[in-house]
Chain A
């Protein structure tokens, strides 16, 4: 089952840990908030994606099954 990374923008306070652990899928905007690649997480990055989710200090990052249309953000 493909999964997408999604950030809860209310919980996110812009620590930027996700962009450090998963630069392939997460970049930071000019204010330090993550811009997430909207495409499904490729299998090769699955492990890193899970690490980034686990490491988020505010638990704002999640992996959701791809049935929800992904939004960047």
Chain B
């Protein structure tokens, strides 16, 4: 089939223009609508063809780590025996409680994700395909799976597995453990799951949004993909945006978009002003505004502030809230979400969380200095010492808060708090802290 796209004439031959949104239709699309828009799954006839296209496109993982997709595809394509078992997994666990973009994508465009899953399977020569979700599959997903199965569109049947609603359940090694019937807990690497994953088989785990992009690259080619984004970080990404005046808002943004265009004016009268931005979710980074007001949604720009786009969670903290209190609350959650497997994380995170809670309370100035020193020391002690990146991400979040909210920490030491609104702002899962047995 031709991959040429007439970008100048929307409609007709150019079914899919290069602009945005690329991934999210206005309303859920069933198989009929999906086929009308995109045509059939563009199988490439032999394994490996798509890998070169994905490399040229420069697609990176949209689950948070931004790892080059072609490299994982390539390792799995080459791994194992020619006729042996190989596994691909569409990861929709989206275990970050503030992220809602994968859920939205699976609701609106399930067939695009399932196309991507089949195409990735073809590219690496997989014998088995899985869809991994942290909730029971919704009607759109079930319908898409049923419609595709009844028309025989898919080369591999898709097994759906439900993950526990835990922060680490979407971590690659935890996914493989859960699919193998065990708890959704991370394991130590090496070996990487791309070499020895599910049941010892080479396993490709890709975020569902990544697979949707892949399905479009297979249709329209790398040049089309690179028509938006930056030269080094092409394409678009889904973001979950929290602004003072709105609830969670899912938006597909070109990589490189100014954060101010997504998060709103920092002193907008409509929202009463914003004091800081959180970029990259709860393993992400607080940025003070207006210092960071010129930053753009790409890792080259964000790296100057020690930040990364992660899975696209962006939050604007209103001026009437306390950033220290918000950080303490989220860190308490992150500490409770430690798998408790690694000594430094098991010991360090609860101490870090308790120290932050103490700072967010009202203690004397001498006490504050010691608590901040403890926080800095413990942060250094847990960093890089877990089997997964949970301690590293938590420490990134905490350290950025110590810098960004330093004036607020000083205020609390004097027994004051600048917040006039005390309701929690950043979303956390409802209910009691999770228990040990909740990993399956």
A residues near B (Cβ < 8 Å) are 8-14, 29-33, 35, 64, 68, 71-73
Q: Which residues of A contact B156 (CB under 8 A)?
A: none
Q: 29 A-B Cβ contacts within 8 A?
A: A8-B188, A9-B188, A9-B342, A9-B343, A9-B345, A9-B385, A9-B387, A10-B187, A10-B342, A10-B387, A11-B188, A29-B344, A29-B381, A30-B381, A31-B343, A31-B344, A31-B348, A32-B343, A33-B343, A33-B344, A33-B347, A35-B385, A64-B190, A68-B190, A71-B384, A71-B385, A72-B384, A72-B385, A73-B384
In the complex, what's the smallest C-beta–C-beta distance from A38 to chain B, in angstroms?
Answer: 9
Q: Complex: how many Å from CA A29 to CA B346?
A: 13
Closest to A29 in B: B381
Interface of B is mostly: loop
- A9, B347: Cβ atoms under 8 Å? no
Interface positions of B from 377 to 398, Cβ below 8 Å from A: 381, 384-387
Tell me how many residue pairs across A and B have CB atoms closer than 8 Å: 45
Q: Which residues of A contact B387 (CB under 8 A)?
A: 8-10
Q: Which residues of B contact A30 (CB under 8 A)?
A: 381
Closest to A33 in B: B343
In the complex, what's the smallest C-beta–C-beta distance from B225 to chain A, in angstroms?
Answer: 30
Closest to A11 in B: B188
Q: Count contacts on B: residues with CB < 8 A to the other chain.
A: 15
**11 more A-B contacts (CB under 8 A) besides A8-B188, A9-B345, A31-B344?**
A8-B387, A9-B342, A9-B386, A10-B387, A12-B342, A13-B343, A29-B381, A64-B190, A68-B190, A73-B344, A73-B384
Shortest Cβ-Cβ A-B pairs, 4 listed: A9-B342, A33-B343, A73-B385, A31-B347
Q: Chain B, 329-347, contact with A by CB distance < 8 Å: what is the 0/1 string?
A: 0000000000001111101
Closest to B190 in A: A68
Q: Complex: how many Å from CA A8 to CA B385?
A: 9
- A9, B381: Cβ atoms under 8 Å? no
In the complex, what's the smallest C-beta–C-beta distance from B125 to chain A, in angstroms?
Answer: 26
Closest to B346 in A: A31
Q: Which residues of A contact B348 (CB under 8 A)?
A: 31
